[in-house]
Amino acid sequence: MKMQAEVIREGELEKRSDSLFQLWKKKLVVLTKDSLSLFPDGHKRAKGKELGFGSILKVDCVERTGKYIYFTIVTKDRKEIDFRCPDQSCWNASITMALIDFQNKRAIQDFKSRQEMEQALEQKLLLREV
């Protein structure tokens, strides 16, 4: 059973559709420390799409107009997903900060793992010498 992650922020974002007309569609968005979940029609009852931070490379292309902030989430497979939010909502900053926090924690875990493996190897080599 999957545990519910702590919600950092919840609200509405607009996502550009992949269709020919590239219409902006409102989505209910739930930001956690590990992912960004998108729900159609503003309801969490429907099946949402989860973008895990492990699959996100960066938040890019920030542009401000008078009314909106436009930004793009780039996935590790180079897919670009375009969003916009009201200028004052700063969703792009919230997502960017959560992504940086996730990436920093992952880097620390990887570093500690490498250190533990190196120490285990050193111990093994020392035991051979004895």
Enumerate the domain spans of the chain.
7-127
State phi, psi for 99 to the nearest 5 degrees: -65, -45
pLDDT at 1 (0 to 100): 40
pLDDT at 2 (0 to 100): 52
pLDDT at 68 (0 to 100): 93
Strand partners, 31: 9, 36
The single-letter code of the amino acid at 22 is: Q
- Tell me 3's DSSP state: P
Q: Are 68 and 86 in contact, with CB atoms under 8 Å apart?
A: yes
Low-confidence ranges of the chain (pLDDT < 70): 1-4, 42-43, 45-46, 130
CB atoms within 10 A of CB 16: 17
Q: Which CATH architecture has domain 7-127?
A: Roll (2.30)
